[in-house]
């Protein structure tokens, strides 16, 4: 676009009316649109007319309308009449669309710094959230019980699809993570234990650490990031699309139709993934130990079997069931609470992962204390 | 009309599709599609559900490359140009109102309108703020400048989307189903707005719609697409098609009669 002439305006006070004479090119993106100064109309008594003289007007776009709107609003607040007959017809039409005064926009709520108020609010919110989670857990559990007697509104196909997504499709990543964790444990152990010529006890170290802690926690963290986030995002998107409302209208409770199969799928698959993780983790340690130390495969195997009695597996199994239920219920809950926009889906997924990982580690600490008390 | 920005009948068309075939993978949406959009007209893309109206719009705003045929945009072959050139055309000349408004949900309405100006003009913040208020004022949404899209009703979202489409003063406006989901009063207000924007800004408007009252009220040219044969079956303004087109399907559409595509006639 050719750089046009500069926009100009003049206020002419005639005897019976105020005239605004406009000249030059009024192009919004030129950044040269002058500001209308309301002072020029302060001397005008209410009821007077403002007219426009556009004889010198060149090209124009919304930049002109912007200026005219300022004038129109000033005139309206001063009780002046606007006579648009001097304007190009198109400009008059656009000006006609604009209101006389700016509605005082609903002011965004002012945030004041009130730490106690914030702390109290957060605490109450957290307590309420715990209650809501407990309720959702109760509803889901009762749904699971009803599902056993085939009374829940859950379709087997949904459950199977969820199990497939949470189980077989997660084998690769769970396997990789646990293999590497087992290998790392063996590395760390081998360096230390070799100093005491206790090479063979690498097997004990790897087996106990993997079975008691690492396989369960690692699997739960992976599943929280993989499946928990997916649940939260999926449910949040369904909420945004009014799919949950549609379910509610036909009388299908979201807790049965969505939450139950999701949570059950995790509860079914995660203990199995844990056992698989134990196996792969011990295998990882085995590979590293054989490569680094002077141990026979049979010796390592024997030492491993001696090191972990069956109740260790049972303990890990119970733990992962609890992790799975926690991840499933909190992820679904976060999805159900999400807002309706695209950004909210991202927030929900992030939140689900954070809550899941922190929750898993916190629960694991509690389990460790319990195990110590009961002496497993 | 004496306005120099509007076209004389013998001017070359502003946009033209020539023997265009549009397809998603193996699925052909429209074939042998030719149309001319003259400067300053309100051009309607009409047709029943599933005939590919929105796909034609996608092709015209450069989101879908035709499998065959040419798209002439103001004298230049649109797809022959570089990607930068196409982006430039889209940014400077196209304003699009998407079917669901497609407001960026993480931003307030005001920020939605301001973003294109912040990115692509040298204007300072106060000027942008004033222009944002103006564009929102034109669509009657200046009160919602600080609200989030999720807090708005469907009609308000659509008007905010229109304000955003106007952000960079485009000279070609595309509307995908602008009045769908609006009450009759809002829809007719939107029609007036489109007419005023066309007259006021000298814009050319391409509108995809099957809302008959809107079409008769504002469109002065158009094409009618057929879902079954996947091509254009009539050219002309909605009023001309209603009064002068012999095709039974077009007649049924324009007069809201039942039409059985299999039987090829009225029911």
pLDDT at residue number B260: 62
Residue A234 has pLDDT above 80, yes or no: yes
Question: Residue A176 belongs to what domain range?
Answer: 138-374
What integer best gives the mean pLDDT of chain B?
Answer: 84
pLDDT at residue number B12: 81
Answer whether A169 touches B (CB < 8 Å): no
Q: Which of A233, A261, A258 is nearest to A248 (CA)?
A: A258
Residue A141's H or E segment, with its range, is helix A115-148
Other CB atoms within a 10 A radius of the CB of residue B14 amount to: 22
Across the interface, whether the CB atoms of A342 and B106 are under 8 A apart is answered: yes
CA distance linking residue A367 with residue B167, whole number of Å: 58
Q: Say what percent of chain B tops pLDDT 70.
A: 93
CATH number reported for the structural domain that contains residue A88 in this entry: 3.30.750.24
Residue A366 has pLDDT above 80, yes or no: yes
Across the interface, whether the CB atoms of B134 and A33 are under 8 A apart is answered: no
* CA distance readout (Å), B130 to A29, A52, A124, B117, B163: 12, 22, 42, 12, 13
Helix (H, G, I), strand (E, B) or coil at B159: helix
pLDDT tens per residue across span A120-165: 999 998 898 888 888 888 888 887 787 777 666 778 888 899 999 9
Answer whether A90 touches B (CB < 8 Å): yes
**Residues A143 and A259 occupy one common structural domain:** yes
Q: Which of B114, B118, B78, B108 is nearest to B94 (CA)?
A: B78
Answer whether B6 touches A (CB < 8 Å): no
- Mean pLDDT, rounded, for A228-242: 90
Query: Domain boundary at A36, A70, A97, which?
Result: A97
pLDDT at residue number A104: 61
CA distance linking residue A320 with residue A267, whole number of Å: 8
**Residues A85 and A191 occupy one common structural domain:** no
pLDDT at residue number B267: 44
A112 lies in a domain?
Answer: no
Task: Find out whether A214 and A315 touch, Cβ atoms under 8 Å.
Answer: no
- In DSSP terms, B235 is beta-bridged to B223
Residue A228 has pLDDT above 50, yes or no: yes
Q: Say what percent of chain B tops pLDDT 90.
A: 9
pLDDT at residue number A206: 94
A133 lies in a domain?
Answer: no
Give all domains of chain B, ordered by start, each with its CATH number. 15-266 (3.40.50.300)
Interfacial B residues in 223-262 facing A (CB < 8 Å): none
Across the interface, whether the CB atoms of B105 and A343 are under 8 A apart is answered: yes
pLDDT at residue number B149: 86
Answer whether B114 touches A (CB < 8 Å): no
**Residues A228 and A329 occupy one common structural domain:** yes
A127 lies in a domain?
Answer: no
pLDDT at residue number B8: 57
pLDDT at residue number A291: 92
A105 lies in a domain?
Answer: no
Chain A CA closest to residue B201:
A61
**Residues A266 and A160 occupy one common structural domain:** yes
- Mean pLDDT, rounded, for A274-290: 95
- Mean pLDDT, rounded, for A192-198: 89
- Mean pLDDT, rounded, for B165-183: 86
Shortest distance, CA A244 to any CA of chain B (angstroms): 17
CA distance linking residue B125 with residue B107, whole number of Å: 17
**Residues A306 and A161 occupy one common structural domain:** yes
Shortest distance, CA B193 to any CA of chain A (angstroms): 8
Query: Of A278-287, B165-174, B256-265, where does mean pLDDT reach its minimum?
Result: B256-265
Residue A168 has pLDDT above 50, yes or no: yes
**Residues A154 and A12 occupy one common structural domain:** no
- With a CB cutoff of 8 Å and minimum separation 6, the contacts of B159 are B139, B140, B141, B190
pTM as predicted: 0.71
Contacts by A37-44, CB closer than 8 A, 24 or more apart: A38/A70, A38/A74, A38/A78, A40/A11, A41/A11, A41/A74, A41/A75, A41/A78, A41/A80, A42/A78, A43/A13, A44/A13, A44/A18, A44/A78, A44/A80
A82 lies in a domain?
Answer: yes
CA distance linking residue A285 with residue A203, whole number of Å: 7
pLDDT tens per residue across span B175-192: 988 887 778 887 888 888
- Mean pLDDT, rounded, for B185-214: 84
A337 lies in a domain?
Answer: yes
Number of structural domains in chain A? 2
pLDDT at residue number A108: 55
**Residues A217 and A364 occupy one common structural domain:** yes
A109 lies in a domain?
Answer: no
Query: Domain boundary at A47, A80, A97, which?
Result: A97
Chain A partners of B186 at a C-beta cutoff of 8 Å? none
- Mean pLDDT, rounded, for B114-139: 87
**A271, HSE (Cβ side, Cα atoms, 13 Å):** 14
Nearest neighbour of B142 by CB, restricted to A96, A103, A343: A103
**Residues A191 and A266 occupy one common structural domain:** yes
A47: Cα separation from own chain's centroid:
56
Q: Say what percent of chain A tops pLDDT 70.
A: 95
A79 lies in a domain?
Answer: yes
Across the interface, whether the CB atoms of A342 and B105 are under 8 A apart is answered: yes
Answer whether A93 touches B (CB < 8 Å): yes
Residue A2 has pLDDT above 70, yes or no: no
**Residues A216 and A309 occupy one common structural domain:** yes
Helix (H, G, I), strand (E, B) or coil at B16: strand
**Residues A93 and A235 occupy one common structural domain:** no
Confidence band, pLDDT 50/70/90 cuts, at residue B266: very low
pLDDT at residue number B1: 37
Chain A partners of B142 at a C-beta cutoff of 8 Å? 99, 102-103, 105
**Residues A233 and A313 occupy one common structural domain:** yes
pLDDT at residue number B4: 47
Shortest distance, CA B105 to any CA of chain A (angstroms): 6
Across the interface, whether the CB atoms of A340 and B150 are under 8 A apart is answered: yes
Query: Domain boundary at A39, A65, A97, which?
Result: A97
Across the interface, whether the CB atoms of A66 and B131 are under 8 A apart is answered: yes
Residue A365 has pLDDT above 80, yes or no: yes
CA distance linking residue A238 with residue A340, whole number of Å: 9
**Residues A275 and A340 occupy one common structural domain:** yes
Query: Of A72-76, B162-166, B253-257, where does mean pLDDT reach its minimum?
Result: B253-257
Query: Of A85-89, A143-147, B48-52, where does mean pLDDT reach its minimum?
Result: A143-147
């Amino acid at each position: 676009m050719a750089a046009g002439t500069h926009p100009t305006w003049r206020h002419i006070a005639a005897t019976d009316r105020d005239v605004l004479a406009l000249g030059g090119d009024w192009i919004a993106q030129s950044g040269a649109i002058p500001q209308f100064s309301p002072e020029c109309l302060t001397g005008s008594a209410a009821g007077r007319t403002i007219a426009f003289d556009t004889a010198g007007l060149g090209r124009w776009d919304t930049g002109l309308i912007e200026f005219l709107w300022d004038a129109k609003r000033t005139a309206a607040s001063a009780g002046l009449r606007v006579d648009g007959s001097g304007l190009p017809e198109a400009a008059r039409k656009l000006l006609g669309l604009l209101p006389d005064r700016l509605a005082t926009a609903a002011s965004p709520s002012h945030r004041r710094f009130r730490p106690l108020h914030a702390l109290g609010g957060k605490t109450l919110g957290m307590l309420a959230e715990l209650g809501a989670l407990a309720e959702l857990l109760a509803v889901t559990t009762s749904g699971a019980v009803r599902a056993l007697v085939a009374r829940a509104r859950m379709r087997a196909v949904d459950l199977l699809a969820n199990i497939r997504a949470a189980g077989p499709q997660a084998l690769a990543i769970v396997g990789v993570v646990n293999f590497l964790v087992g290998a790392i444990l063996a590395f760390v152990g081998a360096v230390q234990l070799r100093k005491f010529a206790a090479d063979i006890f690498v097997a004990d170290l790897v087996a106990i650490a993997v079975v008691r802690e690492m396989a369960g926690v690692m699997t739960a963290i992976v599943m929280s990031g993989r499946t928990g986030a997916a649940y939260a995002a999926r449910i949040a998107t369904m909420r945004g699309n009014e799919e949950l409302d549609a379910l509610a209208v036909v009388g299908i409770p979201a807790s049965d139709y969505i939450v139950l199969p999701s949570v059950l799928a995790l509860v079914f698959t995660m203990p199995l993934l844990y056992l698989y993780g134990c196996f792969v983790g011990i295998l990882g340690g085995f590979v590293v130990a054989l490569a680094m130390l002077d141990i026979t495969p049979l010796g390592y195997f024997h030492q491993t079997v001696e090191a972990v009695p069956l109740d260790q597996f049972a303990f890990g199994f119970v733990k992962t069931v609890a992790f799975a239920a926690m991840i499933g219920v909190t992820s679904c809950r976060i999805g159900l609470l999400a807002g309706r926009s695209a950004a909210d889906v991202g927030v929900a997924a992030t939140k689900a992962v954070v809550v899941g990982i922190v929750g898993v580690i916190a629960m694991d600490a509690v389990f460790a204390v319990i195990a110590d008390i009961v002496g497993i | 009309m004496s306005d120099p920005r509007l076209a004389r009948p013998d001017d070359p068309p502003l946009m033209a599709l020539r023997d265009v075939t549009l397809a998603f993978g193996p699925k052909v949406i429209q074939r042998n599609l030719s149309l001319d959009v003259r400067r300053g007209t309100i051009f309607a893309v009409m047709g029943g559900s599933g005939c590919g109206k929105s796909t034609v719009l996608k092709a015209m705003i450069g989101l879908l490359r035709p499998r065959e045929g040419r798209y002439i945009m103001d004298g230049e072959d649109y797809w022959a140009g570089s990607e930068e050139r196409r982006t430039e055309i889209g940014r400077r000349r196209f304003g699009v109102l998407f079917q669901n408004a497609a407001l960026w949900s993480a931003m307030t309405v005001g920020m939605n309108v301001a973003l294109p100006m912040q990115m692509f003009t040298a204007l300072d913040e106060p000027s942008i703020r004033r222009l944002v208020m103006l564009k929102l004022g034109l669509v009657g949404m200046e009160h919602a400048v600080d609200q989030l899209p999720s807090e708005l009703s469907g009609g308000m979202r659509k008007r905010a989307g229109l304000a955003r489409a106007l952000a960079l003063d485009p000279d070609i406006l595309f509307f995908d189903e602008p009045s769908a989901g609006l009450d009759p009063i809002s829809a007719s207000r939107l029609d007036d707005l489109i007419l005023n924007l066309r007259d006021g800004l000298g814009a050319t408007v391409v509108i995809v719609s099957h809302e008959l009252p809107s079409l008769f009220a504002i469109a002065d040219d158009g094409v009618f697409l057929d879902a079954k044969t996947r091509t254009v079956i009539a050219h002309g303004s909605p009023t001309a098609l209603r009064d002068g087109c012999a095709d039974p399907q077009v007649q049924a559409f324009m007069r809201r009669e039942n039409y059985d595509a299999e039987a090829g006639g009225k029911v």
